[in-house]
């Protein structure tokens, strides 16, 4: 790794160790990483933005039971000339452009789509795909995959999938870069609450909704609409105090 050093602070906010580990993994050339843990900690944000070379584009797939192969590899679509053109799916685009493919909740994909995703996340040496156009595509240099999941442990994933992702990092706290969309006086409060134990935490999405509501109604009312009463009161008190005691246990 030479003289590489992970980023310890971002905009004067400490970077949690889990994100330092992710930065270290991407710098070491690990191109298959699982980011797992509770929802709303910015796993997708990190996958789409962190550890990318300049000019590298990210492509996202959100897996559901209704997802089809068209989202992954592509499909024939009508064009303006009255004929049909084959439009690449997100995985195929990432292959051809040497981009970053971020797959959210791959364990929720249907059987056929899951099998197709296994092909697109295979090792570069053995990966290839024949498009209906007759073109054979392979991963271009620079291609990488980050999978995100709300599972509690990687052992919950199918063996074939785990085998393709040698590094799994539990994300239990938001990256400071993801906090920048939140007003400054709320960032440390959000960082603490998002990293709190189950039943005492709230997601970054919840804080985003809180900020939007607070622009149209009283802050106290916005907090109660988004958070449960006890947590809403503690968040308001922390905002007024200008800080949140990180050693305190949030009560429910």
| Domains located in the chain, CATH noted | 9-170 (3.40.50.300), 181-241 (no CATH)
Average pLDDT over residues 58-70: 94
In this predicted structure, what is the pLDDT of residue 250? 28
Give tens-digit pLDDT for 68-86. 999 999 999 999 888 999 9
In this predicted structure, what is the pLDDT of residue 242? 67
pLDDT: which is higher, 173 or 110: 173
Residues 6 or more apart whose CB falls under 8 angstroms from that of 111 comprise none
Structure tokens at 95: 């292959």
In this predicted structure, what is the pLDDT of residue 2? 58
In this predicted structure, what is the pLDDT of residue 200? 86
**In the structure, what pLDDT confidence band is assigned to residue 252 with cuts at 50, 70 and 90?**
very low
pLDDT: which is higher, 135 or 1: 135
Residues 6 or more apart whose CB falls under 8 angstroms from that of 218 comprise none
Render the burial of 184-197: b for 16+ CB within 10 Å, e for the rest: eebbbbbbbbbbbe
Give tens-digit pLDDT for 93-107. 999 999 999 999 987
Give tens-digit pLDDT for 161-218. 889 999 999 999 999 999 999 998 899 899 999 999 888 899 999 999 999 999 999 9
Q: State how beta strands 74-78 and 84-88 pair.
A: antiparallel
Phi and psi, residue 169, nearest 5°: -125, 125
Answer whether residue 246 shows pLDDT above 60.
no
| Average model confidence (pLDDT) across the chain | 90
Residues 6 or more apart whose CB falls under 8 angstroms from that of 116 comprise 69, 72, 73, 91
């Amino acid at each position: 790794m030479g003289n590489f050093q992970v980023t310890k602070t971002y905009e004067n906010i400490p970077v949690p160790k889990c994100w330092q580990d992710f930065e270290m993994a991407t710098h070491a050339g690990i191109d298959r990483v699982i980011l797992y843990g509770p929802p709303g900690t910015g796993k997708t944000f990190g996958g789409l933005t962190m550890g990318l070379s300049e000019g590298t584009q990210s492509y996202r797939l959100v897996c559901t039971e209704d997802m089809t192969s068209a989202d992954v590899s592509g499909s024939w679509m009508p064009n303006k000339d009255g004929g049909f053109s084959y439009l690449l799916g997100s995985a195929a685009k990432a292959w051809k452009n040497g981009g970053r493919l971020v797959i959210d909740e791959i364990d929720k994909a249907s059987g056929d789509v899951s099998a197709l995703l296994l092909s697109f996340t295979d090792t570069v040496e053995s990966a290839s795909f024949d498009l209906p156009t007759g073109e054979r595509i392979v991963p271009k240099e620079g291609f990488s995959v980050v999978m995100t999941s709300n599972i509690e442990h990687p052992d919950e994933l199918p063996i074939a999938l785990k085998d393709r992702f040698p590094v799994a990092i539990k994300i239990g706290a938001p990256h400071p870069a993801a906090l920048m969309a939140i007003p400054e006086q709320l960032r440390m409060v959000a960082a603490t609450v998002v990293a709190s134990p189950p039943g005492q935490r709230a997601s970054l999405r919840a804080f985003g909704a809180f900020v939007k509501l607070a622009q149209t109604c009283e802050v106290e009312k916005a907090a109660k609409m988004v958070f449960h009463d006890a947590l809403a009161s503690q968040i308001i008190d922390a905002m007024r105090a200008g800080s949140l005691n990180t050693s305190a246990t949030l009560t429910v």
